[in-house]
Amino acid sequence: MDFAFLFQTMKTLLAAVPMTLALFFLSIFFGGLLALLIVWMRVAKNPVVRNFAKGYIFVFRGSPLLIQMFLVFYGLGQFGFIRYSFLWPFLREPFVCAVLSLALCTGGYTAEIFRGGLRAVPAREIEAARSIGMSGFLLVRRIIGPIAFRHALPAYSTEIVMMVKSTALASLVTVWEVTGVAQRLISQTYRTMEVFLCAAAIYLVLNFLILQATALLEHRLSRHRRAAPRLP
Amino acid sequence: MLQDQQIDNATATANRLSVRNIRKSFGELEVLRGISLEAHDGDVISILGSSGSGKSTFLRCINLLEIADEGEIWVDGEQIQMVKKQGKNIPVSSRQVDHIRAELGMVFQSFNLWSHMTILQNLIEGPVHVLKRPRAECIAEAEALLEKVGIAEKRHAYPAHLSGGQQQRAAIARSLAMKPKVMLFDEPTSALDPELVGEVLRVMRSLAEEGMTMLVVTHEMSFARNVSNRVIFMREGQIDSDGAPETMFSDAASPAFRQFIGSFRG
Ligand SMILES: Nc1ncnc2c1ncn2[C@@H]1O[C@H](COP(=O)(O)OP(=O)(O)O)[C@@H](O)[C@H]1O
Ligand SMILES: [Mg+2]
């Protein structure tokens, strides 16, 4: 084993972790906001709005993320109204394209996950809230949202872990995150195994930490479903 | 005619609750067929009737969980504003609906506590977020209410960790925390094991003694007879008979009501 090489590789790859984390956090954040909008449309009474959301979810869950990313990266510039708009300086940045397509995609998946959570909210508990005069946003914020989020959390934590791994695709649109840097190292050194093993180890550690965090959150939010503390 | 109307409205304004000629259909099924009721301050009115006679729908129409197709409702002198749309009532203002619901306490057969909140959180939820009152004050009042219904030691427990009787007492306390003008009970003891019914009825009895205005849909004949000052018997969406318990539970009662009571004695 060439520990000096492994150490050097690790150092180089770790320097790319902030980029991976930036892709991850930004896409989870914007994807989460988008999911809220999509799920709100998905359960709307208006059939046009509802079907738009259905179509959105189908398209972004039904096609490969890599192709979505290529379409955003190579495709947006083809539209004159984008190319000549004030947004173009942003939208031609690979990083922005990667975040955009990651967020668009996770928005579709997360909307479906949140919808599952919504369906699990007992109608009686909503009715109890209405009966004391809650309605609209207050009802969503205090009762429906918190109960739905608790039901959605296990599936949502899986989606978050998937997103950490999906950031690797950004390397294909020339964003220098962990996988991209790993490939560049390989092309310089031809030592595929060692470099990719180091990269895999980094992803495993990231996901381990994320899973710990979501498990802790899940534990804290499910106190009401565990057995009551027994008194001696 | 106009004068009649004015006198009429004057009584509605003086009463805690005034319901005039309520009708409600679900599709073809006519569930409420013209029901009227006046409740004065401190009245405890038991509503009896066999299953499907429309008792739950009646209570739900009063606190606007259902909207009656026709009729008027006044709560503490305030009339709920309705407009007609395709022959059916629609509330004019959703803010008034919320405001009226906040003034009417509702206790459900299945408790319907919020499962993700502790008992104390259940109690302060409405006062803090709907009435927007200071939190510390609400907590102090909630603790006093839990003391009163006898579950103070459960304040940090979750609903799933309580017995049915304790959950229903917590649900009553949650309604009381809103300082309601009228309390509506929809078969509050029907989902309970027989040995837990007594503790809930005791809480309701003490509320009645304190002068709370209450409408109670129940199958507990002892409550109807001994605690309420008025008994209403509903049959097929109408009020079949209505009177003081002494007259209702005597030979003077209507044949249908006597038959209904008979079926209870088994
Ligand atoms: N939301 C609803 N949609 C359709 N039918 C209903 C609805 N709610 C109640 N009903 C019907 O109305 C009738 C009266 O119901 P309900 O008021 O619950 O009676 P009770 O409480 O006296 O048993 C029943 O036949 C019931 O099936
Ligand atoms: Mg009923």
3-class DSSP string for A75-105? HHHHCHHHHCCCCHHHHCCHHHHHHHHHHHH
Closest CA to A162 of A197, A207, A200, A114: A207
C-beta separation of B144 from B155 below 8 A: no
Structure tokens at B8: 């009429």
Nearest to A127 among B99, B112, B116 (CB): B112
Tokens of A58: 């189908």
Q: How far is CA A148 from CA A113, A155, A214, B39, B70, in A?
A: 10, 12, 16, 39, 36
| Ranges of each domain in chain A | 3-223
**pLDDT digits over A19-44, tens only?**
999 999 999 999 999 999 999 999 99
Contact A133 B117 (CB under 8 A): no
Residue B51 CA: which ligand 1 atom is closest? Answer: 23
Residues contacting residue B115 through CB under 8 Å, at least 6 positions apart = A122, A125, A147, A224, B158, B159, B160
Q: Is the ipTM of this complex over 0.95?
A: no
Q: Tell me the pLDDT tens digit for each residue of B3-32.
A: 556 556 767 667 899 999 999 999 999 999
pLDDT of res. A91: 81
Query: Which residues in chain A are contacts of B108 at CB distance < 8 A?
Result: 124, 127-128
Question: What pLDDT score does A24 carry?
Answer: 97
Q: How far is the centre of ligand 1, averaged over its atoms, from the C-alpha of B62 (Å)?
A: 15
Give the mean pLDDT of A150-171.
95
pLDDT digits over B211-266, tens only?
999 999 999 999 999 999 999 999 999 999 999 999 999 888 888 999 998 887 64
Q: How far apart are CA A199 and CA A63, in angstroms?
A: 27
The predicted pLDDT at position B1 comes to 47
Specify the CATH number of the domain A3-223: 1.10.3720.10
What is the DSSP secondary-structure string of A46-61? Answer: -HHHHHHHHHHHHHHH
Return mean pLDDT, chain A: 92
The DSSP output letter for B227 is T
pLDDT at A230 over 60: no
Asked if B66 and B60 touch (Cβ cutoff 8 Å), the reply is yes
**Model pLDDT, residue B19:** 95
Q: Which two tokens stand for residue A162?
A: 């998937």
Residues 6+ positions from A177 with CB-CB distance below 8 Å: A16, A19, A20, A23, A167, A168, A170, A171
Q: What is the average pLDDT score of chain B?
A: 92
| A34, A107 Cβ separation under 8 angstroms | yes
Residue that has been written with the tokens 């709920």 in this structure:
B80
- B112 falls in which pLDDT band (50, 70, 90)? very high
pLDDT of A232 > 60? The answer is no
**Can you give the pLDDT at residue B7?**
58
Q: What is the rounded distance in angstroms from the CA atom of residue B249 to the CA atom of residue B264?
A: 13
Q: Determine contact: A230 vs chain B, CB below 8 A.
A: no
| Chain B contact for A45 (CB, 8 A cutoff) | no
pLDDT at residue A83, as a whole number: 80
Distances (CA, A) of B144 to A52, A105, B137, B203, B209: 51, 51, 11, 14, 18
- Within 8 A of B116 by CB-CB distance, chain A residues are 146-147, 150, 221, 224
Best residue for ligand 1 mutational test, from B22, B23, B48, B56 (most atoms within 8 Å of Cβ): B56
CA A29 centroid distance within chain: 7
CA B2 to chain centre: 32
Residue A229's pLDDT band, with cuts at 50, 70 and 90, is: low
A145 by Cβ neighbours in 10 Å (0-12 / 13-18 / 19+) ranks as middle
Q: How far is CA B70 from CA B24, B30, B82, in A?
A: 7, 12, 9
pLDDT of residue A10: 94
pLDDT value of residue A35: 97
Contact call for B116 and A221, based on CB within 8 A: yes
What is the model's pLDDT at position A77?
A: 78
Would you report the helix, strand and coil content of chain B in percent, each value rounded to 5? 40, 25, 30
CA-wise closest residue to B35 among B50, B54, B49, B51: B54
Q: What is the mean pLDDT of residues B166-176?
A: 97
Q: Are B69 and B24 in contact (CB under 8 A)?
A: yes
Q: What percent of chain B has pLDDT over 70?
A: 95
Decide if B114 and A150 are in contact by the 8 Å CB cutoff. Answer: no
A:B CB pairs within 8 Å: 75
The two three-digit tokens of residue B241, written as one number: 């008979």
CA distance A74 to A56: 21
Closest-CA distance of chain A to residue B147, Å: 20
Share of chain A above pLDDT 70, in %: 97
Read off φ and ψ for residue B233, nearest 5 degrees.
-110, 120
> Does the pTM exceed 0.95?
no
Which residues of A fall within a CB distance of 8 Å from B171? 128
- pLDDT tens by residue, A73-107: 888 878 877 788 887 878 888 999 999 999 999 99
